[in-house]
Structure 1
Amino acid sequence: MKLKPDCIRDVLLYLESELEVDLTKHNFTKINLEQLKDHFSCIYNEEDIWYTVYNLKEIRFIDGRINDGGSHKMMFCEIENITWNGHQFLNTIRPTSVWEATKSGASKLGIMSVSALSMISSEITKAIITKQEVIDGILNKLNELQQ
């Protein structure tokens, strides 16, 4: 089974927009696997969602309870939070230009793991911050996309 980078980004963006703090209960709202499957039903299949959530939990980019009962079948899933590291990753891949460059770099290397995507996006972000011509190129690309 292949990990789909766009699914990773889409799931994190969805979680960021939907998860909230419930001050009356002093905890987080929860998103379950069914909600994710319903939201992305036109884009990703159930396996893509399951595998993405499983990997995001494994790398500790999300918090919650996932139980596979030892059978590698997701019996229960409640996502409560995006972790600090998950937010850091999401913030580096949020701009479309950085995300596309990250996927391109990962594809050229033949590495599509979440940790590789995170490292690549971080390096691209560092390059953007330190090189004015990279910043100008990205701004030009964004202006083209908006027109």
Structure 2
Amino acid sequence: MDLVRAILLKIEGHPTPTVEGYLEVDGYEQGPIHHHIDLLKQAGFVDAFCAMDANTEYGFLFQDVSLTWQGHEFLGTVRDPEIWQKTKAGAAKVGAWSVSIVAELAKGFVLQKMTTLGLPVGA
């Protein structure tokens, strides 16, 4: 999930809305990055076009990668490093790392932080 979060942050922070060519994420090789972009595409978090590229180690290259609304929503809940650390700790305790579980945990921590800050929560 750290790589998923890092990819989404990297795409969001790109100077243009669409990343073309290689997406580099510090500490990760292209194979796991490509695999996770494919998973993010399947989950509806990113739009991406995959092109065959014989010059790459993996034979393909993701081009035109951009965040979807759902990707922005998920990233919005896990962006804050403090919330992310709590979310990871919570997921480790539960033993569940599905995207939906992680998103729900993060939302809970965001709501908790809002309450602590005296912000209105709910209707």
TM-score band, normalised by the shorter chain?
A: 0.7 to 0.9
Q: Which structure dedicates a bigger proportion of its chain to helix?
A: 1
Between the aligned partners of 2:102 and 2:84, the Cα distance in structure 1 is 9
Do residues 108 (structure 1) and 93 (structure 2) align?
A: yes
- Specify whether residues 106 and 74 from structure 1 end up closer, same or farther in structure 2 by C-alpha distance, changes over 3 A only: farther
Q: Which runs of 5+ in 1 are unaligned?
A: 22-28, 137-147
One of 6, 11, 31 as aligned partner of 2:7: 11
Do residues 95 (structure 1) and 80 (structure 2) align?
A: yes
Between the aligned partners of 1:31 and 1:128, the Cα distance in structure 2 is 36
Contact 1:60 1:86 in 2 (8 A): yes
Question: Deviation of residue 67 (structure 1)?
Answer: 6.4
Q: Which runs of 4+ in 1 moved over 4 A?
A: none
Letter in 2 for 1:60: G
Between the aligned partners of 2:51 and 2:107, the Cα distance in structure 1 is 31
Between the aligned partners of 2:32 and 2:103, the Cα distance in structure 1 is 19
Structure 2-normalised TM-score? 0.76
Do residues 30 (structure 1) and 15 (structure 2) align?
A: no
- Specify whether residues 81 and 43 from structure 1 end up closer, same or farther in structure 2 by C-alpha distance, changes over 3 A only: same
Between the aligned partners of 2:95 and 2:85, the Cα distance in structure 1 is 15
| Counterpart position of 2:108 | 123
Do residues 57 (structure 1) and 34 (structure 2) align?
A: no
Give identity over the alignment, percent: 28
SS in structure 2 at match of 1:18: coil
| Counterpart position of 2:65 | 80
Question: Deviation of residue 31 (structure 1)?
Answer: 2.8
Q: Which runs of 5+ in 2 are unaligned?
A: 53-57, 119-123
| Counterpart position of 2:55 | none
Contact 1:19 1:81 in 2 (8 A): no
